[in-house]
Amino acid sequence: MSTFYKSLLENNKKWVKSKLDLNPDYFDKLSKGQQPPLLWIGCADSRVPANEIIGAQPGEVFVHRNIANMVVHSDMNMLSVLDYAVNALKVKHVIVCGHYGCGGVNAAMTNQSIGLIDNWIRHIKDVYRLHKEELDAIEDQTQRSNRFVELNVTEQVFDLAKTSIVQGAWEKNQELSLHGWVYGIDSGIIKDLGVNISNDSELDEVYQLNF
């Protein structure tokens, strides 16, 4: 086995010891169950660890990650996580968090074929099509990418609001708020995009579930 692989197991032992030194009952308490107040839908990028960047502890954040933090209505993985988080765990917040410099978003700005992921990126390209006029007007490639990241997160929050799971929770007056964030890898700072939707919001009919 490689040195790197072995170091993972050694680091785990060190981590366990550090937790037990602070609280001997730490893992016993964790094993009793979870009641996280937050579901995080983020990008699979290894540089964006959900718990760490918001200072949360194990048990405080329920997490789903995929390429470019997408909310796709045919994605049973995402829907299963969302359903469990909302209806079983009763989370009070769902955050869609993208990040600047997202590889999936950048790939969607080109016509290059990457492979199997092309099928997934098609969903991101749909977002570009919705905002093509604004994005095409941005000449600087980095600025265009950053704006695309923000618009993609915004659209995913809107799509989240239209799922039957979220709509059903709101119909039952369950406390549930949706938010859109973007994380700056080069700064460590999270930007709240101001996309905050709850059952108290006066949603435009375009965001309503309408099947």
**Beta carbons within 8 Å of 128's beta carbon, 6+ residues apart:** 108, 109, 135, 148
Q: Is 166 exposed, middle or buried (0-12, 13-18, 19+ CB in 10 A)?
A: buried
Q: Is 18 exposed, middle or buried (0-12, 13-18, 19+ CB in 10 A)?
A: exposed
Strand ranges, E, within the chain: 38-43, 61-66, 93-99, 177-183, 190-198
Residue type, 184: G
- The strand pairing partners of 42, in sequence order, are 65, 97
Output b/e per residue, 117-154; b: 16+ Cβ within 10 A. eeebbebbeebbeebeeebeeeeeeeebbbbbbbbbbb
Catalogue the active-site residues: 43, 45, 47, 99, 102
Q: Which two tokens stand for residue 77?
A: 């993985």
